[in-house]
Amino acid sequence: MGKRGLVSLVGAGPGDPGLITVAGLDRLRRADVVIFDRLIDQRLLDETKFGAELIDAGKSRGKQNMSQKQINALILERARSGKYVCRLKGGDPFVFGRGGEEALALSEAQIRWEVIPGVTSVVAAPAYAGIPITQRGMATSFTVVTGSQDTSRSKSKIDWHTLARVSGTLIFVMTWKELGTITSELIENGAEAQRPAAVIQWGTTNRQKVVTGTLENIAALSKSENLGPPAVLVVGQVASLRGVLAWFDQRPLFGKRVLVTRMRGQATQLSRLLEGQGAIAIETPVIRVNPLEETANIDRAVKNLSTYDWVTFSSINGVSMVKVRIEALGLDGRIFHGTKVAAIGPTTAQALLDIGVRADLVPEAYISEAVAARMIQDNVEGLKVLLFRSDIGRDALARSLRERGAIVNELVAYRTETNMDASNQILQAFSDEHGVDITTFTSASCVDSMLEIIEGDVTLINKTLVACIGPITASQARNRGLKVSIVANEHTIQGLVNAVVEHVSGNGS
């Protein structure tokens, strides 16, 4: 990249991390240094490479970690040291983002730079609110104004007289503090008081709130609904379309705060599926997986897989740990040749497929008893079965197979322990002013670990809807004093989400 490095001015989009561009995500992942704005979603920062330097340069009214002058100096200093710098900015760098000032500073210093445009809240927030900013027969143009200035008549540089007579859509960004002044100035300068208007707070995120009204009452309505910054004001006939076109905040779990207790690394799938239904996923991993300190037994088994008739996996953790040992021993998927493989469910089967092994058996019900029932449909007497499991795994499968005459070798592939570090996250989630609406459990061990962390006090959890991935998890939850409201019929992550959606939508039992 050269001695002077390179700086990418990257638009992160308006809030939804999925709205960053492909090019923007590429630059973020490759950067040595990421200097980011306020309101950047943590999930984007999680995309940075290992060892990248992350610097919070967020600014808001009355509070700033750095002045713009300091930010410019920081960018120049890191670039001059030969680093690849990603300046990650909310929305688009050149739309009220002061990216132009940073670009000028870089050009003056003769440092290589580029701009990666981003999706701006100017169009995204109304779109997620169900408001097209242009519409045939309603608006053939739109005008964008920043409310982040003194909008009073004596000091404002805004031509209120002209704006009030614009026939197209008016969009005011960074507008909350001056909302009352903006609406008053427009009306006093000739805009119709009954002109449709909408205020969108936290647009494109699962915290989005939208209030509609008229130019005359939108400020009062927004205040009564407890809206606040960040907010976008849309003025024009198109605002009346929200009643027909609202979609994003009409999803079944919209705004529901869901506690995801699954272990880190596996929580992502559940969180994304919940968020896809509009929920706010709060990840509090109550369990962590630790590799074995002594691997001689598992290594011996891996080297001799071909001597077994069946190899069974009770979770994706077992697959992950066996994969590590296969690679450490310099082996590959060919060691499964001639051996049948059973997986407790489709997620575990997919993990096997990722290492080149297709499961011969995946039961319709994703529990150990179902695996055993399928295996003993054939005569298992005298068959050698290798079972990879956790140190706290249930013995239902091994017991059933032994009762039918199978020779079962149970091997602990990994150890689990309660993640006591999650205590603060759990406390914070329940103490937040919005609290928790739904608590999810994906295994009986998650239930036990959660109860250990909260010292057995189920009071707060029982104020939420408790959702369990299947009957075994639900049984353990009830035994520990939890009031279970939702049990998935299909014992998968997708099945759990489906069950939650059905219950909240009024279609569940």
Catalytic residue positions, numbered = 37, 59, 174
The string of DSSP letters for 393-423 reads ---HHHHHHHHTT-EEEEEEEEEEEE-GGGH
Q: Count the helices and strands in the chain (H runs, E runs).
A: 19, 22
Q: How far is CA 61 from CA 75, 231, 368, 374, 404, in A?
A: 22, 13, 57, 63, 71
Which single residue is written with the structure tokens 């290594």?
A: 299
115 CA to centre of own chain: 26
Measured in residues, the chain has a length of 509
Q: In terms of Cα–Cα distance, which of 251, 210, 284 is closest to 464?
A: 284
- Residue 123 and residue 105: Cα distance in Å, rounded? 28
Q: Which residues contact 303 (CB under 8 A, 6 or more apart)?
A: 329, 331, 335
Q: In terms of Cα–Cα distance, which of 338, 339, 388, 391 is closest to 368?
A: 388
Q: How far is CA 466 from CA 394, 429, 445, 500, in A?
A: 23, 15, 15, 9
- Token digits for 350? 């997919």
| Amino acid identity for residue 194 in this structure | Q
Q: Which residues contact 355 (CB under 8 A, 6 or more apart)?
A: 319, 323, 326, 333
Angle between helices 346-353 and 316-328 (to 10 degrees): 20
CB pairs under 8 A, 24+ apart, for 475-481? 475/444, 476/444, 476/447, 476/448, 477/441, 477/444, 477/447, 480/447, 480/448, 480/451, 480/456, 481/456
The string of DSSP letters for 72-89 reads HHHHHHHHHTT-EEEEEE
- Token digits for 451? 């109860």
Element (H, E) at 387: strand 384-390
At 356 the three-state DSSP class reads coil
- Residue 105 and residue 116: Cα distance in Å, rounded? 17
- Residue 439 and residue 282: Cα distance in Å, rounded? 10
- Residue 235 and residue 179: Cα distance in Å, rounded? 12
